[in-house]
Structure 1
């Protein structure tokens, strides 16, 4: 399982650095082309990409922290660092969306110069790159159960939406200049506000899920069927009293209460508990198992005896 964790860290670490590198290149490209092509929409999109660099660094820090081994203060590990990172990224995403909406609304009524065609080409290129990065990171995040990477993936999707808004705005300006339709200049404003609202809604949903998972969320019954079936097959186990699989970031910690024969020795009870733990630890997502052993109740024991006789 250690090798699996090492591979997970390497893949997610690579994805985080890839996002940082691409965002730096896109931010620089958008800013310089936006400046020379006289496109305020593209310059604003460049600032959005620059903000992505900060959030990608936050993801990288969160993933590194989540991979730290358990210590005296954190005996269950640091898996929730990814949930915290996801919350931070969601807040930043919401603030960026709000800033885009405010700045776009503030431009209504001001003079809006016609941008150059180069701005449109750069925006289309940015949309293609960001969509590809979104799909890659979403696949990786689901494969390795990383909230931070999944949140960052949707951040890239929000960037594509932002670029689409810029594309609509630049396209409207070019068409307005070509056909003398001044009202098309407002297409930039409308698209900007619409996409900013989408970004804020997305940020809210991602943040809500991250907060939910950070509050000792347990897996639903349908998600633990396989684990429970495997435990029920352990020799010496009579039944399971309680079973809780707590999500701790990208891994799971299981709390389980089992029932055994009250006439067996402490050593035999310990061996049964150890077999239960080893069975559950075979699951890739399970990082630790806490087993509590209960003796079969007298009344239940009599019921079981009668059932065996019949």
Structure 2
């Protein structure tokens, strides 16, 4: 990620933090004055978002630190740790919403308020904009922590939809004297909590996969193979492995080149392979290349050794 991308990412997280703090205060204050339980619960949920956004901001700052003697591969995984923290906070918030909704069903419904509906609607619109903004920017600069913040905003959109629907149904029930509609608020809250938990689960799983250095997709491996084979001197790919490292990808390549080539020629081939991959893939941080000797009586050019795994790995090479 370049300096401009880092600056834009931090700015987006700061906007998210200030927005969450503002919405927390508004929802809790209006909810308390209007007697809206769902709005107060949504405000407490936003208070959790403040903590999550601070975690995302801190992890982004750590991830953007340059390499040092203790962290020679950089600090990219800090963003992934931040997204895992956000996922945990989202799950806790979802259980809080569900618990609060169940309690609300067991008690007499409170009188709905139009001002509470307006506050929930404003929150919904603002959170939807924040989600679109952070999601687009996060994908553009490949920031895990910003994507986690975007997913957190999406969970808030779901919660705000529930608040708007619940308060709206309660108002309609009050106007039409339909008592059962007054419980639309807590029922919607339970449904939304499920979607928030599901979203947080997938986000947390992705973070764990990266921390465990899961391999990239087979499709990406095939793309890297095609780029490597554009280097004329490469006669065979013996092994190709790639893993995510925070916002970057690290590659480990073993290729066969004519055995009679000199060390200098081999060095130049390594530079060509790196350039071929990194020119087309800005997210590739490092390409480690090992050269194996290739003889004319071996397998045809551009093939892998027999028995190579789908990811191009051959432990014997």
TM-score of the alignment, normalized to the shorter chain, above 0.5:
yes
Matches within 5 A, 1:135-284: 135-282=132-279, 283-284=281-282
User: CA–CA distance in 2 between the matches of 1:15 and 1:36?
Assistant: 31
Bigger mean CA deviation after superposition, 134-143 or 232-241: 232-241
CA distance in 1, matches of 2:231, 2:193: 54
Residue 55 of structure 2 corresponds to: 58
Query: 1:287 aligns to what SS in structure 2?
Result: strand
Please list every run of 5 or more consecutive structure 1 residues that lacks an aligned counterpart in the other structure: 305-310
Residue of 12, 16, 23 corresponding to 1:19:
16
CA distance in 2 between partners of 1:121 and 1:276 (Å): 58
SS at match of 1:186: helix
1:18 offset after TM fit, Å? 0.8
Could you tell me how far apart the structure 1 residues matched to 2:197 and 2:25 are?
A: 25
Cα distance in 1, alignment partners of residues 33 and 39 from structure 2: 11
8 Å CA contact 2:256–2:291 kept in 1: the answer is yes
- Report how far residue 97 of structure 1 moved: 0.3
* 1:35-46 matched pairs, under 5 angstroms: 35-46=32-43
- The structural deviation recorded for 1:299 is 4.6
Whether the aligned pair in 2 keeps the contact of 1:257 and 1:291 (CA below 8 Å) is: yes
Higher share in helix: 1
Q: Spell out, residue by residue over 1:117-150, the C-alpha distance to the aligned partner (whole angstroms, 9 max, x if none).
A: 1111111111111111111111112112222222
Q: C-alpha distance in 2, partners of 1:267/1:160?
A: 58
TM-score, normalised relative to structure 2: 0.88
Shift of 1:113: 2.4
* Map of 1:115 onto structure 2: 112
RMSD: 2.0
Show structure 2 runs of 5+ residues with no match. Answer: 302-317
- TM-score, normalised on structure 1? 0.90
Total equivalences in the alignment? 300
